[in-house]
Structure 1
Amino acid sequence: MPLDAQVVSDIYRDHGDALRRFVLRVANDRDEADDVVQETVLKVWKTAPELTGSLRSYLFATARNVIIDRHRRAAARISATALGAQDPEGPGVPVGMEAVLDRILMEEALLRLTLEHRQVVIHMHYLGSTVAQTASSLGIPQGTVKSRAYYAMRALRGILAEMGVEQ
């Protein structure tokens, strides 16, 4: 199948920056990140006719898989004693790699929320604040905190689905 330069160019233009930001969080350097983004775009391009759903979610899921595959290949070249503990999900995946990637996806998703929604989510779900504590800290009524929490979680679910995170 010949490479359709325009399709690949469109994918890079529309999604390249977001993918690069995601990959740079775990890549050793910019060149490695660019390689992962390129591999991701090409893999997605090859399956484009079969895609159903959001292209962006498929891109993020594919990038996540490319990163894990690269770590597995690198780990295969290193002796098991040098690597240390292994993830039960598969050989060659360092313990915590899946958690790190999930955390990065969540941080990217949080950045796409409005500031007001992000503040409420961080206070209530990361800092463990109650509605009253969040309201006091942000200087807004408790009803506003509840409303923002509801709409923030709804938006967050949509963003995560778009990024390919199964809930």
Structure 2
Amino acid sequence: MPLDGNISDEDVVAAIYRDHGPALRRFVLSCTSDENQADDVVQETVLRVWQHAPQITGSLRSYLFRTARNVIIDNYRRARRRPAETGPDALELAESSERVDELLNRVLMEEALRRLSQEHREVLVALHYQRFTVAEAALRLNIPGGTVKSRAFYAVRALRTILDEMGVQR
């Protein structure tokens, strides 16, 4: 969705919610089990993205998910600033932050993989996710081993380009 001066603010916010709201809410709910808090995070995320819309380059969805991650972390930090209760809260915060990072990385990688051609995606999934050897992948995909190697090489290059376009830092 192009974000330009010809669209009203309400239209921009409505389009963000329409196009990305359900996926964003699922992501936030996977980080927190509180539905009210998830709704607050989604609302804050859309507000921040709407405020920075003209400066956004790359994937809007990636920007939304990174912003939601930052909002979640800000909320945890704000809650931590309250008078400290001794106990497992600090450990829980660190685990939650790691879980959010892991979920964000998973979402971004899934989006990047969807942008690859089917042939490149199949080879990468076979080699890196299913842990097949080149020979096993060749047999499974019914292509020569050399083709598996070639597709894997070009798929990784394409994936790096896609991740760069999405603004993902390595």
TM over 0.5: yes
Equivalent residues in 2 for 1:2-151, closer than 5 Å? 4-49=9-54, 51-56=55-60, 57-76=62-81, 79-83=85-89, 85=91, 92-94=93-95, 96-97=98-99, 98-151=101-154
Change (3 A) 1:76 1:59: same
Partner AA of 1:96 in structure 2: E
Give the 3-state SS of the residue equivalent to 2:152 in structure 1.
helix
Q: 2:124, 2:155 within 8 Å by CA — same for their partners in 1?
A: yes
Structure 2 regions of 5+ residues with no counterpart?
Answer: 1-7
Task: Find the aligned partners of 2:110 and 2:29 in 1 and give their Cα distance.
Answer: 13
Could you report, residue by residue, the CA deviation over 1:68-107 in whole angstroms, capped at 9, with x for unpaired residues? 2233334455634222537xxxxx4336333343234334
Residues 44-77 of structure 1, C-alpha deviation per residue, up to 9 Å, x if partnerless?
111223x141251322221221122233334455
Q: Report the residue type matching 2:136 in the other structure.
A: Q
Q: Where does structure 1 lack aligned partners over 5 or more consecutive residues?
A: 87-91
| More deviation, 94-103/141-150 | 94-103
Aligned-pair RMSD on alpha carbons? 3.1
Instruction: Choose between structure 1 and 2: higher helix proportion.
Output: 2
Q: TM-score, normalised by structure 1?
A: 0.71
| Whole-Å separation in 2 of the counterparts to 1:110 and 1:80 | 43
Identity of aligned residues (%): 56
Count the aligned residue pairs.
Answer: 159
Decide whether the 8 Å contact of 2:66 with 2:104 is kept in 1. Answer: no
> Deviations along 1:112-139, whole A, 9 cap, x unmatched?
5455433321222234333222112332
